[in-house]
Structure 1
Amino acid sequence: MITQTKATIYLSDKRGCTQQDWFRSYHTFNSGVYFEESRKPFGNLREFNDDTLKGGCTVSKYSEEHSCVLLMPVVGTLNYSAETATGAIEPGQVAVISLPKQTRLDITNPYQEELINFLQIRLSVPDTDGPSGIVEFDLDAQHGNRIPFLPAFASIGKYKGRGEDVLFVKDAADSGVFVFVLEGAFEVQNRLLHPRDGLALWHVSEVEYEALSNDAIILLLQVKL
């Protein structure tokens, strides 16, 4: 018996876009830009942006509320600087930054010519005492397994075709799960997702998924509703 869960699919080609000659950002949620349809935040997940930045350039983000920001490089190294943290990260690392209200985060491409691509994920939090620092993971060394890089909150995995897994959700009554496909294709809770597609799921106790291509990469975030 297949149980149909409440869900919203965010197709990659339906995302909002902010673009200049030095910076491009695809927004899964509104993030201050206009959409063909309303895209409200999903629980405390306020932004999920897929950003590309030109060499030698810096983009600044301002936080209007206490936030936890995750920076995840996909292509290239990035430098970041905020009131609470400064550093450099590359693919295989995630910067977790506690950002106080009304403060700025600067993200810089250290290369002169090459573009970089990264995910910028922002969650609202009641205060800025949450986790911070740099988390590392190795998708190739743990191929076929989901890697929790923030326990009980965020995980990532790389799978061969027909590789399957299940995410068990804590506090399902008050939680949702946001799924984002970085590479390849997946079937998630009986829904087909392609590269850079997202899926929001409400009040699920478990999330089943299967890779439909080799070296497919999936990111899962548990959010507060």
Structure 2
Amino acid sequence: MISQSAGKIFLAEERGHNELNWFRSFNTFNFGSFYNEHKHPFESLYILNEDTLAGNRKISMLAENDSCIVLIPVVGAISFKDSAGNSGLLQAGQAQVLNVYAGTTLEISNPYEEESVNFLQIWIKTPDLQSTVPQLFEFDLDKNPNQLLELFSPQKKTLVKTVPQPHGVIGKFSGRSEAVYNPAQSGNALFAYVIEGNVEVQYRLMNPRDGLGLWDLEEMELEALSENAIVLILEIPVLKTV
């Protein structure tokens, strides 16, 4: 009998849902007016929102904690700027990492006049923030199928073994393709998020936009159960207990 590691699943159908005629947001964890006693943050990962923004519209966010913010366009492009002076334009196939202090404001806008865009916002609490230098990462899922590609990583000069850092990989897989992820730093928890398709992660079936948090793993195994399945794996620092 296969034993499952300790974990918690976050089903797409149970996400929070906030919608206006120009903006739609699905929230994996408690966010804004959405609250569910079973949807508390997973360790230091406290926001994972899938947002759709209409043409020529923008939203604003306020960092309540020192945070590592990862922005990933899924369909189209987004513009961003924060109160620390960072700004840019992101296309699908890119990931922007912003390391910000509490109190920083972030504005995300749709640069198109009419077309809607779809993107992911990932916010990770980083009480031991080492640097505020932004980082841009690029990846090509179609040219590198059936493997996990680096999505974002700590800056090398700040990678101190005693300070856990977030890390992320992403991959696009054909049906029945398999992969194994080995954490970059021991002691971190792992969080898998399926963007497209159906995937089995550590012997658990996951559908599009499902999330799965796992603890105490030396490696994470996954198998695509459909064609062109896209999965994101986040390495999340475990919160210190007093």
TM-score when normalising by structure 2: 0.88
Matched, 1:190 2:192: no
- Note the residue ranges of structure 1 that are not aligned, 5 or more in a row: none
Local SS of the residue matching 1:140: coil
Query: How many angstroms does 1:199 deviate by?
Result: 0.5
Indicate the residue corresponding to 2:176 in structure 1: 162
Change (3 A) 1:128 1:17: farther
Change (3 A) 1:36 1:63: closer
Count matched residues.
224
Indicate the residue corresponding to 2:189 in structure 1: 176
Percent identical among aligned pairs is: 40
Indicate the residue corresponding to 2:91 in structure 1: 90
Q: Distance in 2 between matches of 1:149 and 1:200?
A: 18
Indicate the residue corresponding to 2:7 in structure 1: 7
Indicate the residue corresponding to 2:143 in structure 1: 141
Query: Which amino acid counterpart does residue 43 of structure 1 have in structure 2?
Result: E
Local SS of the residue matching 1:4: coil
**CA-to-aligned-CA distance 1:128-184 (integer Å, 9 cap, x gap):** 615622110000111111001224710000010000001112444x32111000111
Q: Is the 8 A contact 1:144 1:158 kept in 2?
A: yes
Deviates more, 1:82-91 or 1:121-130: 121-130
Change (3 A) 1:84 1:128: farther
**CA-to-aligned-CA distance 1:15-36 (integer Å, 9 cap, x gap):** 0112111111111010233344
Q: Distance in 2 between matches of 1:51 and 1:9?
A: 20
- Note the residue ranges of structure 2 that are not aligned, 5 or more in a row: 154-165
Query: Which amino acid counterpart does residue 196 of structure 1 have in structure 2?
Result: R
Q: Distance in 1 between matches of 2:218 and 2:68?
A: 24
Q: Distance in 2 between matches of 1:32 and 1:38?
A: 15
Deviates more, 1:16-25 or 1:155-164: 16-25
Q: Is the 8 A contact 2:100 2:132 kept in 1?
A: no
Local SS of the residue matching 1:169: coil
Q: Distance in 2 between matches of 1:43 and 1:131?
A: 24
Indicate the residue corresponding to 2:159 in structure 1: none
Deviates more, 1:162-171 or 1:71-80: 162-171
Deviates more, 1:213-222 or 1:122-131: 122-131
Query: How many angstroms does 1:204 deviate by?
Result: 1.0
